[in-house]
Amino acid sequence: MAAKIVIPEQLKQELPQNKWGKILAVTPIIMTVLATMLAGLASSEMTKGQYDRSLGAELQSKAGDQWGYYQAKKLRGALAQNTLDLLAATADVNPLAAAALPGADAVTLAALTKTELPDATPAKFPGDVQTALDRLVNSRPESEIADALSRVKPATLAASLADALNAAMAFDNATKSINKAVDKGETLLAKGDKSAFRSFAAARLRYTAARYDVEARLNMAVAGIYELQVRQSNYSADKHRARSGKFFFGMLAAQLAVIVSTFAIAARQRSFLWSIAAAAGAAAVAFSVYVYLFL
């Protein structure tokens, strides 16, 4: 059984027996608790910063995939256009007749004979998101991108990403039937009249170049939103890291208060030195509240 702690009478006499004196008596304990709390907050903020940094790296990888799709589709579209130009320069190419594709639906015929693709409605983003995206695409300074992103909530950016992905998926689904019809038409015409097949090949290349151009622009929008998420995550990581540092300094102030009060007890000059400890603790609390609310 632990022994009961008895405060010496001399110590009681040296410490004022009033409310203020009681507060001064527990100052070392309060400062110790405060220092522990601030250390926990500093560690918590640092952990959040590390998480945001890891999330930013993951999002950067996804953005890289989308930029890869964008570049691949732009290259394929350019290759299809170059092949079409070469075909037109080396042989006579007649317009593709609808009769050459028996059984093709109106959408397929419009795509191959008129290069009219299905509607590719790009996603519409909120004002600040669109502003940040435009600044990103136009390689504006990072400070301008950060300024626009500061007014965008993560949930809004996530919804914008979903809209961009849905727009890309919608166009992909709209062209699936055309792609199947093109593959089927190639099989049917490959062994027939060479002139008709040449006309079909030119129409296919024209359609392919236009389709890849649309898909590339849709993928670019997805990649851009991912890039904004990367920046937003990195900005959040920097903010948490800065808050962690401020809480750490608050913890040091609280620990300093504990040390001062401990020396005060040892030197039996508690009234003055404990006041310094209390002031240091109050400053630590005020500073930490400021960091928590405003930084």
Contact between 132 and 150 under an 8 Å Cβ cutoff? The reply is no
Q: How much is the mean pLDDT over the chain?
A: 85
pLDDT tens digit sequence for 187-200 = 877 777 888 888 88
CB 121 within 8 A of CB 170: yes
Greater confidence, 127 or 280?
127
Residue 255: per-residue pLDDT: 81
- Look at residue 1 in the predicted model and tell me its pLDDT: 47
Question: Global pTM?
Answer: 0.79
Share of residues in the chain with pLDDT > 70 (%): 85
User: For 243-258, what is each residue's pLDDT tens digit?
Assistant: 999 998 888 888 887 7
DSSP 6: -
Cα angle: 205, vertex 211, 217; to 5 degrees: 140
42-45 CB contacts, 8 Å cutoff, 24+ apart: 42/244, 42/245, 42/247, 42/248, 42/251, 43/244, 44/244, 45/240, 45/241, 45/243, 45/244, 45/247
Q: Which amino acid is at 64?
A: G
Please give the radius of gyration of the chain, using alpha carbons only, rounded to the nearest integer.
35
**pLDDT above 60 (res 118):** yes
- Evaluate if residue 123 carries a pLDDT over 70: yes
d(C-alpha 175, C-alpha 106), whole Å: 13
Alpha helices by DSSP H, listed for 190-269, are 194-267
Alpha-carbon gap, residue 295 to 292, rounded angstroms: 6
Task: Please compute the mean of the pLDDT values over residues 216-235 and round it to a whole number.
Answer: 95
Q: Give yes or no for a contact between 271 and 24, defined as CB atoms under 8 angstroms apart.
A: yes
Question: For residue 278, what pLDDT is reported?
Answer: 65
What is the b/e burial string over 140-159, where b = at least 16 CB atoms within 10 angstroms of the residue's CB? eeeeebeebbeebeeeebeb
Tokens 């903020």 sit at which residue? Answer: 45
Nearest CA among 151, 139, 158, 149 for reference residue 232: 149
Q: What size, in residues, is the chain?
A: 295
